[in-house]
Structure 1
Amino acid sequence: MAATVFGQVTRRVGAIVAALAVGIGTASAATAAPPPEGARYIALGDSYAAVGGLAPIAPGSAEDCGQTVNNYAHIVAEAKGYELTDVSCGGAKTKDMYERQKEWTPPQLDALTADAELVTVMIGGNDSDVFGGTVENCIKATFQLPIIDAPCTHRIGEAPITTVREVTYPAVKQVLTSIREKAPAARVLIVGYPWLVPAQGECLPQMPVLASDMPYFRRLQSELNGAAARAAEETGAEFIDMSAASEGHDPCKPPGARMVEPILLTDHPVPLHPNAYGQQAMASQILAHL
């Protein structure tokens, strides 16, 4: 039984890592409809910005980026009447703001214009494989013999947290600085990641993380969101904090109550990513901030 569960987990984690590394889904070849008249809004980011559950792929979006028609950028644009350019893409790292992530996707910062009124970005989780790599290593540590308490805490240790402080934070800060240079008149919002694990307890098997390791994951995610918040403060950007809004809506909660899907026992095409409810919640926080 343990071997069977481990095999299922390994396959699902493989799906997560692959999605984070190369993008998600296949885009329609259809041409996007003409945007409405209104102020220009540019959306940048990774798969958490792009993916909205089982919704259709956004027409005209880049191949394999996984943008759905109900991601927070589309919701905000429709609500405010913005002319949206969404270049968010599954697997994006901070370096993909400046260089091609794929042969057919220009650097995301190339989408910025001097007349942009609003820019949102959600980035940092893929840098140094902080999300996917730590999840994968944690699950391996959990199943590693001998079984110990808090295996992720003890077997992975401080390395990912140190990486966020020393590598991810300055990279995110540089992205925000570059956005300001290219879109000097825009309001720049960086969106924080919703909680991936509960504050306490566990929910095996859908999230194969022990209760004793939940504080470790919360601390890692707090460090990542804290890096985004500090970078925003130091560059004149604005941080959209999802921690309070997503508390109690983590992957351990039942369908309809969770904002992010679990690793196992979900029909979501990409596990450990926002569903439609999660995208709506992020859009609501952005709209409230605006």
Structure 2
Amino acid sequence: MRKISALLIAGVAVVAGWPGAGPASAAPGFGEYVALGDSWAADATVTTPSTEFVPLGCAQSARDYAKQVAAALAIPNFRDATCGGATVHDLTRPQEVTGGVNAPQFDRLTPSTDLVTLEIGGNDTGLAPAVQDCLTLNPAVSPCQAKWVPGGVDRISAQITAYEPTIVAAVRDIRERSPHARILLVDYLEGIGISGGCFPRIPISDTDAVWVGRKLIELDAMLARAAAESGARFVDTYRGSAGHDACQPPGTRWVEGLIPFSTDPAGLVVPFHPDQLGADHQARAVLAALGR
């Protein structure tokens, strides 16, 4: 995400078609896998960071879902370009982070790349900084509504809709660089439900919590449409994540809240990002989309 401490969580239960996909038993092996995306793809962490593929400032987890997928499929050539704070622009330009520069993520793609995962869009649409604006000490106040829905016009909804062609173009750019790749567009699992919040554990009013939950659903719906239009496979991580949002107790939640400590694994975490249980769920969803 643009700010690692920002929230980017979302949901919709839609699966777009995958042209040419055969039955699960016929799923072939892969020789070269490239993972692309933002902090939710990197499963941003300060407890188990990895600098194998990116600078430390990307906060990429040593057990993010892409690494789990690569290991489960025994892929011999794997590159993980995911980085906290990434936007679509960082797919094609260097991204400065603490401790170095993450090269343009598309630089990891080659003509022989045959599997790509992409999870991105929350920073681009403005949802991550919008969630930070929701924080309040007064549960009767809804600052997100005041700032982002002036006069009843929802600016985040408009930005989500406007960014759909950019996501479509990004998938098509991947296909130009790696014409034989199976491309999976991954959505964001549920972090805040649409039934309300859990003030004061997460200092957001119920009204704003419901609004955030619905914006997350809109974001994932946009990603599903972009996948269908571009011919990518949509990976639905939201399905199955209900009841595992940041308001749930340790061991149940798959996304951490504002308090920067988790039991999964034990240690400091990046607020409003998947914990290890969330990363494990993402990995299962990707593997299921591949018929594994």
Same fold, TM exceeding 0.5? yes
* Aligned AA (2:276): A
- Matched residue of 1:246: which SS? coil
| Partner Cα separation in structure 2 for residue 54 and residue 278 of structure 1 | 15
Distance 1:171 1:20, change over 3 A: farther
Distance 1:221 1:18, change over 3 A: closer
**TM, length-normalised to structure 2:** 0.80
Distance 1:38 1:190, change over 3 A: closer
* Aligned AA (1:19): I
Number of residue-to-residue matches in the alignment: 254
Q: Which has the higher contact order (CA 8 A, sep 6+)?
A: 2
Task: Kindly provide the CA deviation profile for residues 88-122 of structure 1, in whole angstroms up to 9, marking residues without a partner as x.
Answer: 01100000011111263221111111111110011
Offset, 1:244: 1.6
Give the RMSD, CA atoms, in angstroms: 2.3
| Partner Cα separation in structure 2 for residue 244 and residue 62 of structure 1 | 30
Task: Kindly provide the CA deviation profile for residues 246-286 of structure 1, in whole angstroms up to 9, marking residues without a partner as x.
Answer: 11100000111111100136344310001100000000011
State the partner residue of 2:157: 161
Question: Residue 20 of structure 1 contacts residue 90 of structure 1 at CA under 8 Å; is this kept in 2?
Answer: no
State the partner residue of 1:85: 79
| Partner Cα separation in structure 1 for residue 215 and residue 68 of structure 2 | 29
| Partner Cα separation in structure 2 for residue 265 and residue 68 of structure 1 | 16
For residues 233-272 of structure 1, the aligned pairs below 5 Å read 233-264=228-259, 266-267=261-262, 268-272=268-272
* Aligned AA (2:184): L
Distance 1:38 1:196, change over 3 A: closer
For residues 204-243 of structure 1, the aligned pairs below 5 Å read 204-243=199-238
* Aligned AA (2:159): T
Distance 1:265 1:178, change over 3 A: closer
The gaps in structure 2 that reach 5 residues or longer are 7-28, 263-267
| Partner Cα separation in structure 2 for residue 67 and residue 136 of structure 1 | 22
For residues 1-290 of structure 1, the aligned pairs below 5 Å read 18-19=3-4, 39-51=31-43, 53=45, 55-63=47-55, 64-82=57-75, 83-102=77-96, 104-131=101-128, 133-139=129-135, 143=138, 147-148=140-141, 150-157=142-149, 158-166=154-162, 168-264=163-259, 266-267=261-262, 268-290=268-290
| Partner Cα separation in structure 2 for residue 206 and residue 222 of structure 1 | 23
Question: Residue 134 of structure 2 contacts residue 144 of structure 2 at CA under 8 Å; is this kept in 1?
Answer: yes
- Matched residue of 1:104: which SS? strand
Distance 1:52 1:104, change over 3 A: closer
Distance 1:57 1:214, change over 3 A: closer
Question: Higher strand proportion, which one?
Answer: 2
State the partner residue of 1:33: none
Offset, 1:192: 0.4
The share of aligned pairs that are identical, in percent, is: 34
**TM, length-normalised to structure 1:** 0.81
Q: Kindly report structure 1 stretches of 4+ aligned residues shifted beyond 4 Å.
A: 52-55
